[in-house]
Amino acid sequence: MFIRLALLVFFLDQLIKFFVHRFMYPGQSFPIFKNFLHLTYVQNHGAAFGILSGWRLTLLLVGFAALILIVYINNHVKKRDFLHIPLAIILGGSLGNIFDRLFRSYVVDYIDFRFWPVFNLADIMINVGFFLVLVQIIRSKGDDFK
């Protein structure tokens, strides 16, 4: 289940990015809800919110280290634990952004709330996954690790 969920997140992220990259040009924006939510194509050469722009190799190395850490943690939590789901969606989102950095040299971002930097589905999955991990750790008082 862990790998299947991670791959589902990865492929869905890449499918959306494919269509954005194929049918839009950088900077192009379409209002979904005018002045609130737009579909905007941004080529992000940095990390979240464009920070560390130009640090591609460093971001790739950190990304690969994060992948290893996620798999390690997943292998060391109790099998009955809820942590496998958020770890899988973090893994899928991380794979999506790392794939972009490897093969495009930038991450395709497209969700634009106009008052926040543009982001993508992978970013959402990473953040939701981390939130769910924190909630589970707090609820279990750390008992979920072997």
Residue 144 is among the residues annotated as catalytic for this protein: no
Q: State the catalytic residue, choosing from 13, 100, 109, 112.
A: 109
Q: State the catalytic residue, choosing from 13, 100, 112, 123.
A: 123
Pairing of strands 107-112, 29-33: unpaired
Residue 123 is among the residues annotated as catalytic for this protein: yes
For 80, residues 6+ apart whose C-beta sits below 8 A from its C-beta are: none
Burial class (CB within 10 angstroms; exposed 0-12, middle 13-18, buried 19+) of 121: buried
Catalytic residues: 109, 123
